Amino acid sequence: MVLIWQPFSKTFNELVLLFALFLDVVPLGEGKKQLPRSAGASETVETYNKYYNYVDLTNRLQSLAQSYSHIASLSSIGRSVEGRELWVMRISVEPDKDTPGKPKFKYVGNMHGDETVSRQVLVYLVEYLLTKYGEEARITELVSSTDIYIMPSMNPDGFEKSKEGDCDGDYGGRNNANNLDLNRSFPDQFDGTTVKPDDIPEVMAVIKWIKEEKFVLSGNLHGGTVVASYPFDDSVSHQRQGHYSQSEDDNLFRYLALVYSLNHPVMKTGQPNCPDTPEETFKDGITNGAHWYDVPGGMQDYNYLYGNCLEITMELSCCKHPPASELQKEWDLNRESLLAYMEKVHMGVRGFVKDAVSGAALSNVSIVVAGIRHNLTTAKFGDYYRLLLPGTYNITAVAPG
């Protein structure tokens, strides 16, 4: 990829020095090596044939964090309405500190409590990354070069209400314990804030998390069909269906959605064959969110517009809460897609922005790509990660003064 660096005219009086630093991948066997597991840590072999309730999930994540403490750190970003922790597993070399030049990636599952495949698949992904680090070159490189955050359940209260085998959500559990849909409760670009913050502690915790961490790329995992959906999720008219709501990064979002879809044996066919909507198809297994159906207050649009982060939504299964006997199959179907999508956090251009005189790192500097009217900003080390398709771009860093 050829990149042309062309600063704004000096009359703007807003120039800062831009250092484009392209980082070399450390080959396997050099640099960081796998450390021994923590002494006394017990580990349970995954069976892929049962759902974890809140207690089980907590125990499983704590056990993995203890066994792999050199690359895993478990924390809670907040609590649900009923007081359950919103667990996040952070996976990276030196997982308890931020490292300059390492982009942040996240997956969020089980946002709708009765859409349960994502909850289990993300636990399996955590285990896979931890156990394969130091053994498989691909996983070792991914963990070494990326700051990975995985939240298996954003709606643990809803999951406890959901029933195994309920494909349509008849038993409830979709909403939080205040009966609010978490994926309709984020500030919307057209409607603003429509829900009382005290009623959605899960959403408020995630908003705080997004603003603090400055994620680069994200996936929001759901259930109910099999498709990868990309922004925007709604439009100013809120037309129920059929309105393609295009973002400034539309081509990039389509590409990212295809990365997930084309690595999924069922999704890539574009024919989920869901019993409740047998006629519904998606070309190449992807769709613009609003064109599919209008979703105001969704999380993926919030990430893009207010969170410095590109996010798409992956719908993993026709049945929202399938029998546990289906979990092994779902993990096998999604594993390669999950990994391939994560790796895309490294595409495009990255670097650091520093003061021209002092050399100090500059945070919250706008990274402006000519022709794309959507700016990202630098993180606390002055680092930026601008995902872009291959091509030639004029890129400028702009800060007041």
Catalytic sites, residue numbers: 315
Q: Calculate helix-pair angle for 327-343, 117-132, nearest 10 degrees.
A: 60
| Cα-Cα end-to-end distance for the chain | 31
Which residues on neighbouring strands pair with residue 104, listed in sequence order?
147
Q: Torsions phi, psi of 339, nearest 5?
A: -70, -45
DSSP, res 239: -
Give the separation between CA 151 and CA 90, rounded to whole angstroms: 9
Q: Secondary structure of 150-181 in the HEC alphabet? A: EECCCCHHHHHHCCCCCCCCCCCCCCCCCCCC
> What is the maximum alpha-carbon separation in the chain?
65
CA triple 262-87-174, angle to 5 deg: 65
Q: Which residues pair with 350 in a beta bridge?
A: 385
